[in-house]
Amino acid sequence: MAAGNEVPIIHKMMLILEHLESVREGVTLAELGRALEVPKTTIYRVLKTLSEYQMVQIDRHGRYQLGPRLASLASAVAGFDLITISRQTMEELSAELHETSKLSFAMKDEVVVAAVVHSPTGFGIFTQVGRRFPLHAGAASKLLLAHRSDLEVAKILERGLTSYTGKTLTRPAALREQLEEIRSRGWAEDNEEFLDGIMAVSAPILDGSGRIQAALSVTFLAIKRDRKDAIRMSVVDAAARVSRVLGAGTPVPARPARTLVPELLGHDG
């Protein structure tokens, strides 16, 4: 409850977060206004600020939900963080495939590599923690972009799509079509769309509410493309294992692929 010496805007922020916590499917701006009896203009300003810090996120249908930053904050309190719980699975994945595995997060208009396990053979694709990639090219990038709202996707398309190779998707309509395909099948691939000769496959790590928290991916040389289906199945299975630790339900099945386009990750997919 509000106290006499409360800071009004912080009190409203907490009311909003508490309401979003209680309505897992998300709520619209109008629904929040009615439920909290707070002016929509005030709620919008609070939500905009919370969104910038990834405390809340908006889905494709304009419904606000709690954001991934809250999971990070909870991790700091409980000693439970996604990078730590994903590490063993990533190590097993790289050992099984003899390829580099990565864990990536969406940060505003970029994708950031948060953890890397390189191939134990020493011959896999090399990348670094902290490397940033655009949101329209690369397996992990496209996967994370596919879970953004229609409004966010539209803003990215309006800025133009930079071409990195001859296979980069630069036509907005083509990218939209592929994002729909990614949402439907549950995984993404990079077919030399960010860097010639480099491919990748990425699958989502989901929390208990079914929201995507990160992208798990494996990068490999294009000369190994005949292994793509086997790599895809292993990546989807590994991501599902981590998702179950976070409380997610039935894992996404690894379905046969249709031809894909560029990944957002970068040179390493």
pLDDT averaged per 10 residues, the chain (length 269): 67 90 82 90 92 85 81 54 90 96 87 90 82 90 93 89 92 95 96 94 91 94 96 97 83 39 37
- The number of folded domains in the chain is 2
Please check whether residues 24 and 152 belong to one and the same domain.
Answer: no
- What's residue 234's pLDDT? 97
Please check whether residues 58 and 84 belong to one and the same domain.
Answer: no
Residue 73 lies in a domain: no
Q: What is the pTM of this model?
A: 0.67
Please check whether residues 49 and 97 belong to one and the same domain.
Answer: no
Please check whether residues 42 and 107 belong to one and the same domain.
Answer: no
- What's residue 138's pLDDT? 93
Please check whether residues 85 and 207 belong to one and the same domain.
Answer: yes
Q: How many CA atoms lie within 13 A of 50 on its CB side?
A: 25
Residue 261 lies in a domain: no
Distances (CA, A) of 238 to 69, 90, 96, 97, 157: 23, 8, 11, 12, 31
Domain span at residue 173 reads 79-245
Residue 54 lies in a domain: yes
- What's residue 193's pLDDT? 94
Domain with 19 in it: what CATH number?
1.10.10.10
d(CA 137, CA 196): 12
Please check whether residues 177 and 210 belong to one and the same domain.
Answer: yes
Residue 252 lies in a domain: no
- What's residue 210's pLDDT? 84
d(CA 252, CA 210): 11
